[in-house]
Amino acid sequence: MHITLKRFTFTLLAVFAARANADAPADGAHTTPAEQALIQWLLDSGGQVNVQIHRDSSGVRGLSAAAATAAGSVLVRVPLSSAITLGEANDTAPELAIRLLRERHRSRPRYGPYFAVLPPAPGSEGWAPSCGEELPAAAVEALAGPGLRELLAAKRSWLRAVCSGAAPGLPLPLARAVPRAHVSEEEFAWATCMVSSRSISGPGGAMLAIPLIDLANHCGSRARRQPDTLRFRRLTAGEAGAEGAEAGAKGVGAGDMVLELVAGADLQPGEEVCISYGQLAPDEALLYYGFLEGAGAQAATETETGTCAWQQPPPLCAVDEAGYDPGARPGKVRYERLEAAAAAVDLAAEAARLESRLAAVAAEAEAVRAGPAAGCPESPQAVRGGVDARAEAPDPALCLVSALNGLREAGLRAELARVRALAAGVKAPSGCRGQGEGPGGLEAAV
């Protein structure tokens, strides 16, 4: 079976977003009142905003340049005093979620404009899973092959322990952080997904929730070689003076720490602003950030014009790496793989490991495609048109999991072919298939 990976996975994301944003403005429309209120809140706090919130044709929200912007210019500046401090870098996502919920449930919440634009919580209209902890049981069961179901089971077990207060060594138990409200396990999972997909590591290793900047999407699918970047720094006296007394009046002046989103390239008005989340494997993208990208889209950001962009082998899922570390931060680990100098016995052992894993993934993935995911679309035309797509498409979470299964299978096949070539003393395939093949034409046998 051949699946056009890039088109298939982005189509499924479009259905997911369409359900979650059923009442959002149309493609390119102005921001909602809640989003406008967030921007004004940041401006009133001494921030700087040179972006606008937009939605693409599938309803996915992001940021775009409000005007022509030169590379190196500030797109957004947020005072650190406007961020929510969640915890430390070594804290798990459920532990970080406790402080997010503390701010959400304050009787007079300081960050009300921020919470008003977050994806809906369970029980609210438009709710949809945002990461692995929120996936419905049917979608979790549909994950093909070893590793991922076990990983989610362990993550959910820890989530329940932190939520209930049974986890050892919690510096701030949920019951003490939110004493006047009942937080359900579903709401706690939602908060965990919010910090998993949105938190940023700040000065001193603090984990932060940064309003507005956390709407910047991952650049992986964009044909941009230089993502926009984030930087923490202190304002100088000259900058504070240049911005006038107004900045000081709003509590932001010389020496104050800010987070800036800086243009990585010259941007035209309306051009998307995006950052890099790291080198995400497909399973990391879905389970930690709630989205999938095609193999070609991911590879394209690593290549220069004139090379084999869009024709790279499909990426291996992190869970299928020989040295996989389930505790590693997604997109931040470079796993070592066997190369030509490896011993023959090691290459043979790795090929056997990949063969065994591929057999398990392929069998279960096909059963899911033929069973619960049989109605999932396989072409853009199948889901084009927002209302019809929302009404007729199967559960988007299940379709995304089925797409992940296909990507996982394709990645295993590609890596197995590479290892076999090394064992045979043949130059490993580069993945190039000749000139003239564009991103829409990348296919992988799965």
Q: Quote the CA–CA distance of 240 and 228 in Å, as a whole number.
A: 24
- 177 burial via Cβ count (<10 Å: 0-12, 13-18, 19+): middle
List phi, psi (to 5°) of 132. Answer: -60, -35
Of 126, 154, 125, 158, the closest CA to residue 140 belongs to 154
- Residue among 437, 435, 436, 417 at smallest CA distance from 427: 417
Is 391 within 8 Å of 417 (Cβ atoms)? no
- State both tokens at 242: 């240049």
Cα–Cα distances (Å) from 332 to 278, 279, 281, 325, in that order, read: 6, 7, 10, 11
The structural domains of the chain, ordered by start, are 2-15+281-445 (no CATH), 25-275 (3.90.1410.10)
Rounded Cα distance between 165 and 179, Å, is 13
pLDDT for 329 = 83
**How confident is the model over 260-276, as pLDDT tens digits?**
999 999 999 999 999 99
Confirm if 35 and 111 have CB atoms less than 8 A apart: no
DSSP letters of 184-232? Answer: -HHHHHHHHHHHHHH-EE-GGGEEEE-TTGGGPEEGGGSS-SS--EEEE
Nearest by Cα to 416 from 314, 333, 345, 323: 314
What letter does residue 61 receive in the DSSP assignment? E
Using an 8 Å Cβ cutoff, are 265 and 65 in contact? no
| Strands across the sheet containing 272-275 | 51-55, 61-65, 272-275, 217-218
CA-wise closest residue to 133 among 289, 287, 19: 287
DSSP conformation class of 278 = -
Q: What is the pLDDT along the chain (446 residues), one digit of tens a residue?
A: 222 233 333 433 444 444 444 445 544 556 899 999 999 999 999 999 999 999 988 788 999 999 999 999 999 999 999 999 999 999 999 999 999 999 999 988 899 999 999 999 998 998 999 999 999 999 999 999 999 999 999 999 999 999 999 999 999 999 999 999 999 999 999 999 999 999 999 999 999 999 999 999 998 755 566 899 999 999 988 776 555 444 444 667 778 999 999 999 999 999 999 999 988 999 999 999 998 886 544 444 444 444 444 456 889 999 999 999 988 888 888 899 989 888 999 999 999 999 999 999 999 999 999 999 998 876 433 333 332 333 455 788 999 999 999 999 999 999 999 999 999 987 655 544 333 332 222 222 22
Q: Is the distance from CB of 261 to CB of 230 less than 8 angstroms?
A: yes
Q: What was the pLDDT predicted at 429?
A: 53
**C-alpha torsion angle, residues 120, 122, 128, 131 (rounded to 10):** 100
Q: Answer yes or no: pTM beyond 0.75.
A: yes
Identity of residue 158 = W
pLDDT digits (tens, 9 = 90+) for 320-342: 999 999 888 888 888 999 898 88
Beta strands 48-49 and 74-79: pairing type?
A: antiparallel
